[in-house]
């Protein structure tokens, strides 16, 4: 919701989770610039979070493959042990 006030101020709302935050800028031009910058920042933050999560996924995949390799090694050791008995 955008609103131009009689004195030239520009009122707009942003939403953070379930909260509505009303902001006022000195002019419509400045208000729209704020909106644009906040949207750019949100996108930038989301991209950063996505990259971080992708990195975590890759790390966890590596850990899983290492654990699977260790399990296979333990199975081989058990087979060798059982065959020796």
Mind listing the pLDDT tens digit for each residue in 71-83?
Answer: 999 999 998 888 8
pLDDT surpasses 70 at 1: no
Alpha helices (runs of H) in the chain, residue ranges in sequence order: 28-84
Phi and psi at residue 57, in whole multiples of 5°? -60, -45
Q: What is the CA radius of gyration of the chain?
A: 28
Q: How much is the pLDDT for 61?
A: 97
Q: How much is the pLDDT for 60?
A: 97
pLDDT surpasses 90 at 43: no
Give the predicted TM-score (pTM) of the model.
0.52
Instruction: Give the three-class secondary structure for 30.
Output: helix
Assigned token pair, 84: 């020796």
Return the percentage of the chain with pLDDT > 70, whole number. Answer: 98
**Other Cβ atoms closer than 10 A to 31:** 20
């Amino acid at each position: 919701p955008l609103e131009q006030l009689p004195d030239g101020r520009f009122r707009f709302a942003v939403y953070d989770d379930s909260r509505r935050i009303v902001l006022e800028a000195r002019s419509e031009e400045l208000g729209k610039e704020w909106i644009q910058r906040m949207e750019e920042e949100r996108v930038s933050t989301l991209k950063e979070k996505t990259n971080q999560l992708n990195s975590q996924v890759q790390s966890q995949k590596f850990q899983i493959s290492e654990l699977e390799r260790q399990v296979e090694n333990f199975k081989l050791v058990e087979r060798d042990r059982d065959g020796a008995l």
